[in-house]
Amino acid sequence: MSRAAVVGAGMTKFGVHESPMQELFADAAFEALDDAGIEAGEIEALYFGNAMGGQTENETHLGPKMATHIGMAGTPVQRFEDACATSANAFKNAVQAVEAGVHDAVLVGGVERCTPETGKDTPEMTRIFGSASHRQYEQPSGLTFPGVFALLTKRHMHEHGTTEEQLAHVAVKNHGNGALNPNAHFGKETTVEEALDGPIVADPFRLMDCCPFSDGASAVVVVSDDLADSYDAPVDVTGVGHATDVVPIGDKREIGVTQAARDAAAEAYEQAGIDADAVDFAEVHDCFTGAEILASEALGLIEDGEGGVAAEEGRTARDGDIPINPSGGLKAKGHPIGATGTAQIVELTKHLRGEAGERQLDAADCGVAHNLGGDSATTVVSVMEARQ
Amino acid sequence: MSRAAVVGAGMTKFGVHESPMQELFADAAFEALDDAGIEAGEIEALYFGNAMGGQTENETHLGPKMATHIGMAGTPVQRFEDACATSANAFKNAVQAVEAGVHDAVLVGGVERCTPETGKDTPEMTRIFGSASHRQYEQPSGLTFPGVFALLTKRHMHEHGTTEEQLAHVAVKNHGNGALNPNAHFGKETTVEEALDGPIVADPFRLMDCCPFSDGASAVVVVSDDLADSYDAPVDVTGVGHATDVVPIGDKREIGVTQAARDAAAEAYEQAGIDADAVDFAEVHDCFTGAEILASEALGLIEDGEGGVAAEEGRTARDGDIPINPSGGLKAKGHPIGATGTAQIVELTKHLRGEAGERQLDAADCGVAHNLGGDSATTVVSVMEARQ
């Protein structure tokens, strides 16, 4: 049973862009519309995500600005912001509206500029990113996100014996995948030795354990299930789960367990009528290598505690038994915050259609996207399946 | 035919608050829950609005932060930002989800801190507010919102002979209403003479033509139509329209006509199965006195071009034929951006239940809320009716 279908997908290259946000978003949006073969005038609503435009470039109320720039002025549009889970939440609400019959066809996407092209340097961007952490308890202590995920990962290492080498294997895999992705921020491979030799950012994370700040945009066209077959290459959205967890991190019941991801995955799998065994591949939110390991377990793709071993053994490689982040993930593809969630949907769409080029997976009938925000306080998990 | 029902409503006093956003929002949320007689655990989702927390206090990802603070961690929540139409958009999406059967009971609300309590002074806040205007075409020219609405109003004066005295009558009426509202930022009356004697902010607006920056929060409980009767005092939501218009203002077809408001009103009235004649009263987005005049016409409550005359003649007063802004409006009640949209829903709920105290309107069976964002580029219009 499909809740809705994705019939068009587009994204910019992730990396460093001079173009303002409207132009970046237009590039992704037009590619998605062209891919679907749908006219802008047939789109009934826009679900738009941007995380930090107000803080980076004094740009808010971006919904109508984007709609205007892509020729959809008049269309209802709302901006979503849920930290790094921004555009996955836009996607969730879009699927919900289409399934309910409120709209037949909508455009969903996001854009972000996070590099010095915004005029903000890395310390300033780090402070801005830190706005997603708890204002009273975390920000004053200087706990930015490398530190948050370092704490989660350290706990996993303590409980399960996960090693820095295993973390490095995640980086090596994702950089290898990214080298096959023309839209990736980083097109270069790395090695375990290089990763382990990098400067420490937040113990246990070294430079190669951390994703970059990127500029970029992504967009998908979502239509109702009964319209899907009138498009060339529909892909079914069979489940979208969404859950939150407590903030600040100190209030979490178990910090090595990303509970929101487990709750969101359970909801998404139930909607899709599958269990984790049915999943062929996944795009997960690897803002840090440790986050990929936690996600692979929370989604039920790898046994609890085995995420590090699985990475080391190559189980999550493109030719492994459960490929994770064939796009290169946030680690190598890049992380333009508000564009990341729908970029995962773009990647799933490509593989499920058999259009992922050099990085195409052999078995790709069921894919999962996992997009988290803050210290895993928001997670959206989406299940997509090749249309039968 | 009701789309959903509001069964609980709460808000803080609007004004200057020392409390952080979580505490302000909790005050409004708990009042709404108590008013409904519903437990937090029965709320299935939170639709949350905040416009500028990232810019004012480095606070983003507020959805899970708010959910945690009010004991709803785990609940799905997303933050909406659509400039001054922020929480009306949250309300729209909540009504849609409840109507579709996705959720039975949800909490909708918003919060904002805009006063120097944030640590930002008025020039800084003006720059932050200006982020909703066009980044490339309007911000560099210094066109902030008093200027935007001054342009719209000047056009109306040019075309229809609207006068500064008529604008002053809007301020006098709304301050008079605000003096009856214990939650209003300004509890004092004013006079036409005082209004016309104020310093010019942006011609034709003087000080008393402009709403203040306020701190505050508001929230409502929305349940499905078929559950409504199990609550004490349900109010029906019969229509919610949402439209956008082009940005920047220079691209608008006719700047004296707020087209998005007309489109949103037409959609809301059609859903409700009414025309403007059926409306007994309205809460409209009077960020400036001229904006109320434009809104009263766009909603079809006053004939086009007659908005100024109607204000002068007292037609929009509490004892007039179509009372507008019995709460005092943004002008006197105040304008904590992300809380304004749902505060209008709170006010409609009070009158439709006959619980508006000293300012209760005699005839209040059908009310309309009109919440706009940016240079009228987003407008949400909601129709609410007393339950039969």
Residue at a domain's end among B235, B270, B293: B235
Residue B218 and residue B184 share a domain? no
Q: What is the pLDDT of residue A277?
A: 98
pLDDT band at residue B254, thresholds of 50, 70 and 90? confident
pLDDT the model gives residue A366: 98
Measure B315 CA to nearest chain A CA, in Å.
31
| CB-CB contact of B156 with B162 (8 Å) | yes
Assigned domain for A135 exists: no
| A213: Cβ contacts below 8 Å, ≥ 6 apart | A114, A115, A122, A125, A129, A335
Q: What is the pLDDT along chain A (388 residues), one digit of tens a residue?
A: 799 999 999 999 999 999 999 999 999 999 999 999 999 999 999 999 999 999 999 999 999 999 999 999 999 999 999 999 999 999 999 999 999 999 999 999 999 999 999 999 999 999 999 999 999 999 999 999 999 999 999 999 999 999 999 999 999 999 999 999 999 999 899 999 999 999 999 999 999 999 999 999 999 999 999 999 999 999 999 999 999 999 999 999 888 889 999 999 999 999 999 999 999 999 999 999 999 999 999 999 999 999 999 999 999 999 999 999 999 999 999 999 999 999 999 999 999 999 999 999 998 999 999 999 998 899 999 999 999 8
Query: Is B132 contained in some domain?
Result: no
d(CA B358, CA B381): 26
Q: How far apart are CA A180 and CA A318, in angstroms?
A: 11
Whether B58 sits inside 8 A of A100 (CB atoms) is: no
What is the C-alpha separation between B343 and B83, in angstroms, rounded?
Answer: 15
**Whether B274 and B342 share a structural domain:** yes
Q: Which of residues 15-54 of A touch B (CB under 8 A)?
A: 20, 51-54
CA distance B360 to A224: 45
Predicted pLDDT of residue A225: 96
**pLDDT value, residue B225:** 96
Query: Does the annotation mark A366 as catalytic?
Result: no
Q: Distance between CA atoms of A169 and A180, rounded to whole angstroms?
A: 17
Which of B61, B93, B245 is opposite residue A378, by nearest beta carbon? Answer: B61
The predicted structure's pLDDT at residue A388:
83
Of the residues B156, B169, B335, B370, only one is catalytic, namely B335
Question: Under an 8 A CB cutoff, do B260 and A378 touch?
Answer: no
Q: Which of A170, A85, A121, A95 is nearest to A374 (CA)?
A: A85
**d(C-alpha A211, C-alpha A289), whole Å:** 8
Span B45-59, average pLDDT? 98
Any chain A CB within 8 A of the CB of B89? yes
pLDDT tens-digit series, residues B311-337: 999 999 999 999 999 999 999 999 999
Q: Could you report the per-residue pLDDT of B81-107, keeping only the tens digit for each? A: 999 999 999 999 999 999 999 999 999
Nearest CA in chain A to B128: A58
Q: Are residues B23 and B95 in the same domain?
A: yes
DSSP category for residue A384: E
Nearest to B247 among A68, A132, A247 (CB): A68
* pLDDT reading at B354 higher than 90: yes
Shared domain check, A150 and A60 = no
- Tell whether B103 and B206 lie within a shared domain: no
Counted domains in chain A:
2
Which helix (H) or strand (E) segment holds residue A49: the answer is: strand A45-49
User: Is the CB of B79 inside 8 Å of chain A's CB atoms?
Assistant: yes
| One-letter amino acid for residue A353 of the chain | R
A97 within some domain = yes
Domain that holds residue A344: 141-211+238-386
Bridge partners of B105? B223
Task: Evaluate whether A82 touches A264 at the Cβ level (below 8 Å).
Answer: no
Backbone dihedral angles phi then psi of residue A179, each to the nearest 5 degrees = -65, -15
- Per-residue model confidence as pLDDT tens digits over B203-251: 999 999 999 999 999 999 999 999 999 999 999 999 999 999 999 999 9
Q: Are residues B239 and B382 in contact, defined by beta-carbon separation less than 8 angstroms?
A: yes
Cα of B136 to nearest chain A Cα, Å: 9
Q: Which chain B residue has its CA at the smallest distance from A258's CA?
A: B74
Residue A91 sits at the chain B interface (C-beta within 8 Å): no
Amino acid type, B227: L
- Residues B21, B81, single domain; the answer is yes
B248 and B331 inside one domain: yes
Q: What is the mean pLDDT of residues B131-137?
A: 95
- CB contact burial B272-290 (16+ within 10 A = b; e otherwise): bebeeeebbbbbbbbbbbb
Query: Which residues 6+ apart lie within 8 Å of B58 measured at CB?
Result: A55, A127, A128, A130, A131, A135, A139
Question: C-alpha distances in angstroms, B233 versus B127, B210, B279?
Answer: 42, 35, 20
Closest-CA residue of B relative to A124 is B58
Band (pLDDT 50/70/90 cuts) for residue B273 is very high
Other CB atoms within 10 A of residue A357 CB: 10
> Residues of B with CB below 8 A from A81's CB?
54, 60-61, 79, 81
Burial class (CB in 10 A: 0-12, 13-18, 19+), B313: middle
Task: Supply the CATH number for residue A61's domain.
Answer: 3.40.47.10
CB contact under 8 A, B245 and A55: no
Q: What percent of chain B has pLDDT over 70?
A: 100
The single residue listed with the structure tokens 């999962």 is A368
Q: Are residues A55 and A149 in the same domain?
A: no
Please report whether residue A130 resides in a domain.
no
Q: Which distant-in-sequence residues (6+ apart) come within 8 Å of A59 by Cβ?
A: A21, A50, A53, A65, B131, B135
- What is the pLDDT, as a whole number, of residue A182? 98
Q: Is residue B130 part of a domain?
A: no
Confidence band for B16, pLDDT divided at 50, 70 and 90: very high
Kindly write down the DSSP assignment for every residue of B109-175, as one continuous string.
Answer: EEEE--SGGGT--HHHHHHHHGGGS-TTTTGGGT--HHHHHHHHHHHHHHHH---HHHHHHHHHHHH
Give this prediction's pTM. Answer: 0.97
Give me the DSSP letters along A70-135. Answer: TT-TTS-EEEEEBTBTHHHHHHHHHHHHHHTTS-SEEEEEEEE--SGGGS--HHHHHHHHGGGS-T
**Minimum Cα–Cα distance from B130: chain A residue:** A58
Residues A42 and A154 in one domain: no
Count of A-B CB contacts under 8 Å: 182
Q: Which residues of B touch A143 (CB under 8 A)?
A: none
Angle at A90 between CA B48 and CA A262, to 5 degrees: 85
Q: What is the greatest pairwise CA distance in chain B?
A: 55
Residue A287 annotated as catalytic: no
Short-list B150, B119, B113, B103, CA closest to B22: B113
- CB of A239 within 8 Å of a chain B CB? The answer is no
Asked whether residue B79 is domain-assigned, the answer is: yes
Is A334 part of any domain? yes
Going by C-alpha positions, the residue among B84, B166, B137 that lies closest to residue B338 is: B84
pLDDT digits (tens, 9 = 90+) for A270-314: 999 999 999 999 999 999 999 999 999 999 999 999 999 999 999
Q: Do B132 and A74 touch (CB under 8 A)?
A: no
Amino acid (one-letter) located at B192: V
Does ipTM come in above 0.90?
Answer: yes
Which residues of A are less than 8 Å from B25 in CB distance?
none
> Do A358 and A272 belong together in one domain?
yes
A chain contacts of residue B76, beta-carbon cutoff 8 Å: 242-244
3-state secondary structure (DSSP) of residue B14: coil
Asked if B245 is an interface residue toward chain A (Cβ–Cβ < 8 A), one would say yes
**B55/A54 Cβ within 8 A:** yes
Q: What is the pLDDT of residue A35?
A: 98
| Inter-chain CB proximity A79 and B80 less than 8 Å | yes
> Is A127 part of the contact surface with chain B (CB cutoff 8 Å)?
yes
d(Cα A130, Cα B23) in Å, to the nearest integer? 21
Are B61 and A83 within 8 A, CB to CB?
A: yes
Determine whether the interchain pair B65/A97 forms a contact, defined as Cβ–Cβ distance below 8 Å: no
Position B253 scores a pLDDT of 86
Same domain, A177 and A98: no
Residue B342 CA to chain centroid, in angstroms?
7
Using the beta-carbon criterion (under 8 Å), do B128 and A54 form an inter-chain contact?
Answer: yes
Is the same domain home to A223 and A266? no
On the question of pLDDT at B257 being above 90, the answer is no
Kindly state whether residue B133 falls inside one of the protein's structural domains. no
Residues 6+ apart with CB under 8 A from A96: A240, B96, B97, B100, B102
Pairwise CB contact (< 8 Å): A131 & B378:
no
Q: Which residue, chain included where needed, has tokens 């409120």?
A: A102
Closest approach of chain A CAs to the CA of B309, in angstroms? Answer: 30
- Find all residues with CB under 8 Å of A124, minimum gap 6, and list them: none
